[in-house]
């Protein structure tokens, strides 16, 4: 168990190391050269150097036994430094995940101790040239090698595509089809018949090594089959999705914030029409505040999900998908807006936001694309809607109405409006059998993610007001500002669910002309419109907090 103090120290040493070894000029140089800084990656993973990877390894295997919340904090911090380097470190944990969840005690001891004691770098080999989102299309084969009637090993043949650390790892976990189905195998580098291609020339995360793998009859002894039982591979991969998607969610969050944290100081120095950009409301309320709000909504969902995983609520795959979807889309939007916020400078390499924008793009592709996240979210919550005869989100909404009675300042009333509207949209989709249109199914996934995130944010704003937030939680904002952030997001979520909901239901033929007024009324439009009152004042409040403007300064500026 890691204390808040230890976590803080670890994050600090990570920051200090990065400041020394990866200043902006070095990052720009490596990005231009398309080069992975192997020495840095090794330092981060070596127990006698930074050893940040120790946080991820259970104590019984020589690590520090960080929980999901600690891992989210580390991932966010690493992403703020460089997403390519962060990906290298993450790949070791993706690579060892099948071992953590599915290996025999002997395999765990051997391999997890190697990570903790020797800083061994792993790669995770699932994707293939023709099997990405659809891993069921896997073609890599593991044939049994039988001697005296006993399985003594496997011969693996096939190709893996886009493997992070593919060209630099010491060990690999590779998914291959055995006669009993997909299974994970642990391979050392350099085995006969096991080769990797040259690094890919990528759009972003150019500091991360990504390479294709080729396996030509590679022999591994039977003790390299993870868990010792064939056919468990997809289950083992799924068992950690909640957790691994949270890691990538934290990447989106960290990268998005690192871009905004460049735009904010820039805007205080750049003078336009006689005053800094930071004092132009049209600039700040378009380019800065909405992105901060979106990032913090995603953070709320990440933190809640991490706490629930740590409390033993299971792997929470759908929640992991919502966290990833919201945080990585928010990170991309924030980086894009930061380029705009820096104008022409933002468009050059030197000012870094352009690099962050290229880097963060990967987070909506790997560990499940945004479209696959939308599908995952929608399919799961659709079942909840059906099982409860349409009451799932109405029930949740009622909880937020109660929260609003206790904490009228945190936007819980708006979250309730979003959730009630969502329940009505889902019900209309059920009645019209609209999920037969894949587009509708995926768009519902987006609306679900927004409405649930509004709920998370309101809950956390209330916890903060009660001084009951996890002591490891991010404390960038005080309770009143956090409540304003929550009110802004929940207004937006309610409007989005009702507006997009009506668009997709009517668009897919789910509401005839005669039914439309009743459907519109069920969505609560008048209340949602009224809830927009106070939006601009809340944006002013958040802007003042971001720029550290006191009440006195605001008065003086006015």
Ligand X SMILES: Cc1cc2nc3c(=O)[nH]c(=O)nc-3n(C[C@H](O)[C@H](O)[C@H](O)COP(=O)(O)OP(=O)(O)OC[C@H]3O[C@@H](n4cnc5c(N)ncnc54)[C@H](O)[C@@H]3O)c2cc1C
Binding site for ligand X (CB under 6 A): 91, 124-127, 132-133, 162-164, 202, 205, 210, 362, 365-366, 369, 371-372
User: Is 122 buried (19+), middle (13-18) or exposed (0-12) by CB count in 10 A?
Assistant: buried
Residue labelled with tokens 């880097």: 359
Q: Which is nearer to ligand X, 122 or 351 (CB)?
A: 122
From the CB of 351, what's the least distance to ligand X, in Å? 24
Task: Provide the sign of the torsion angle of the four alpha carbons 315, 160, 359, 90, taken in this order.
Answer: positive
Q: Cα–Cα distance between 150 and 144 in angstroms, integer?
A: 9
Q: Which is nearer to ligand X, 369 or 554 (CB)?
A: 369
From the CB of 205, what's the least distance to ligand X, in Å? 6
- Residues in CB range of 493: below 8 A, 6 or more apart: 414, 415, 418, 450, 451, 453, 454
Q: Cα–Cα distance between 368 and 430 in angstroms, integer?
A: 27
Give the residue among 394, 550, 414 at the shortest CA–CA distance from 485: 414
Q: Which is nearer to ligand X, 210 or 338 (CB)?
A: 210
41: tokens are 């990656």
From the CB of 123, what's the least distance to ligand X, in Å? 6
Query: Do residues 89 and 45 touch, judged by C-beta distance below 8 A?
Result: yes
Classify 290 in phi/psi space as left (phi over 0), alpha (psi -120 to 50) or beta. alpha
Q: Which is nearer to ligand X, 69 or 366 (CB)?
A: 366
Query: Do residues 328 and 251 touch, judged by C-beta distance below 8 A?
Result: yes
Query: Do residues 262 and 339 touch, judged by C-beta distance below 8 A?
Result: no
Q: DSSP code of 128?
A: B
b/e string for 404-413 if b means 16 or more Cβ within 10 A? beebebbbbb
From the CB of 46, what's the least distance to ligand X, in Å? 21
Q: What is the number of the residue whose Cβ is closest to ligand X? A: 132
b/e string for 181-204 if b means 16 or more Cβ within 10 A? ebbbbbbeeeeeebbbbebbebeb
From the CB of 8, what's the least distance to ligand X, in Å? 30
How far apart, in Å, are the Cα atoms of 138 and each of 15, 265, 278, 516?
Answer: 40, 48, 51, 46
b/e string for 205-239 if b means 16 or more Cβ within 10 A? bbbbbbbbbebeebbbeeebbbbeebebbbebbeb
User: Radius of gyration (Cα) for the chain, nearest Å?
Assistant: 24
Task: Provide the sign of the torsion angle of the four alpha carbons 143, 133, 291, 315, taken in this order.
Answer: negative
Q: Which is nearer to ligand X, 164 or 414 (CB)?
A: 164
Query: Do residues 163 and 94 touch, judged by C-beta distance below 8 A?
Result: no
Q: Which is nearer to ligand X, 162 or 382 (CB)?
A: 162
Classify 477 in phi/psi space as left (phi over 0), alpha (psi -120 to 50) or beta. beta
Q: DSSP code of 284?
A: I
Q: Which is nearer to ligand X, 236 or 278 (CB)?
A: 236
Q: Can you give the three-state secondary structure of 16-42, one letter per residue?
A: HHHHHHCCHHHHHHHHHHCCCCHHHHH
Residue labelled with tokens 């060209």: 167
Q: Which is nearer to ligand X, 54 or 372 (CB)?
A: 372
Q: What are phi and psi of 76, to 5 degrees?
A: -60, -45
Out of 200, 303, 304, 367, the active site residue is 367
From the CB of 368, what's the least distance to ligand X, in Å? 6
32 assigned to active site: no
Q: What are phi and psi of 152, to 5 degrees?
A: -105, -10
From the CB of 161, what's the least distance to ligand X, in Å? 7
Q: Which is nearer to ligand X, 33 or 406 (CB)?
A: 33
Strand stretches in 257-352, DSSP E: 271-272, 275-276
Q: Which is nearer to ligand X, 319 or 359 (CB)?
A: 359
Catalytic annotation, residues: 367
């Amino acid at each position: 168990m890691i204390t808040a103090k230890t976590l803080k120290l670890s994050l600090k040493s990570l920051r200090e190391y990065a400041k020394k070894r990866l200043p902006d000029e070095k990052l720009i140089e490596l990005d231009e050269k398309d080069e992975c800084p192997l020495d840095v990656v090794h330092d981060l993973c070596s127990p006698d150097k930074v050893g940040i990877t120790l946080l991820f390894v259970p104590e019984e295997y020589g690590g520090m036994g960080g929980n999901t919340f600690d891992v989210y904090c580390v991932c966010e911090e690493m992403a703020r430094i460089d997403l390519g380097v962060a990906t290298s470190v993450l790949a070791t944990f993706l690579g060892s995940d099948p071992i953590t969840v599915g290996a025999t005690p002997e395999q765990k001891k051997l391999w997890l101790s190697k990570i903790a004691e020797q800083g061994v770098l792993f790669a995770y080999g699932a994707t293939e040239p023709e099997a990405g989102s659809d891993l069921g299309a896997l073609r890599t084969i593991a044939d049994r090698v039988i001697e005296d009637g006993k399985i003594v090993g496997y011969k693996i043949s096939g190709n893996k595509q886009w493997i992070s650390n593919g060209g630099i790892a010491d060990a690999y976990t590779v998914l291959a089809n055995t006669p009993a189905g997909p299974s994970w195998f642990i391979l050392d580098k350099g085995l006969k018949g096991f080769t990797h291609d040259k690094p890919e020339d990528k759009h972003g995360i150019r500091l991360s090594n990504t390479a294709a793998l080729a396996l030509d009859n590679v022999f591994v002894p039977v003790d390299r089959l993870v868990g010792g039982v064939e056919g468990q591979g997809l289950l083992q991969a799924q068992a950690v999705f909640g957790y691994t998607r949270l890691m990538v969610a934290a990447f989106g969050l960290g990268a998005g914030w690192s871009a905004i944290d460049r735009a904010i100081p820039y805007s205080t120095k750049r003078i336009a029409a006689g005053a800094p950009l930071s004092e132009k409301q049209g600039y700040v309320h378009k380019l800065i505040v909405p992105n901060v709000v979106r990032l913090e909504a995603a953070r709320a969902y990440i933190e809640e999900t991490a706490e629930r995983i740590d409390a033993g609520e299971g792997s929470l795959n759908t929640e992991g998908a919502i966290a990833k979807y919201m945080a990585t889309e928010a990170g991309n939007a924030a980086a894009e807006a930061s380029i705009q916020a820096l104008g022409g400078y933002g468009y050059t390499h030197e000012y870094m936001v352009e690099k962050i924008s290229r880097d963060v793009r990967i987070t909506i592709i790997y560990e499940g694309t945004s479209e696959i996240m939308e599908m995952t979210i929608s399919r799961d919550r659709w079942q909840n809607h059906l099982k409860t005869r349409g009451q799932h989100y109405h029930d949740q909404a009622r909880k937020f109405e109660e929260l609003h009675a206790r904490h009228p300042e945190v936007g819980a009333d708006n979250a309730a409006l979003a959730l009630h509207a969502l329940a009505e949209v889902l019900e209309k989709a059920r009645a019209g059998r609209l999920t037969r249109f894949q587009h509708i199914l995926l768009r519902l996934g987006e609306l679900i993610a927004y409405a649930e995130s509004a709920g998370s944010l309101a809950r956390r704003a209330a916890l903060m007001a009660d001084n009951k937030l996890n002591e490891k939680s991010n404390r960038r904002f005080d309770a009143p500002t956090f409540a304003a952030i929550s009110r802004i997001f929940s207004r937006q979520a309610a409007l989005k669910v009702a507006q997009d909901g009506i668009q997709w239901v009517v668009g897919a033929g789910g509401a005839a002309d005669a039914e439309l007024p009743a459907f519109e009324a069920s969505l609560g439009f008048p209340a949602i419109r009224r809830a927009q009152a106070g939006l601009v004042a809340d944006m002013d409040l958040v802007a003042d907090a971001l720029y550290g403007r006191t009440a006195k300064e605001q008065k003086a500026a006015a």
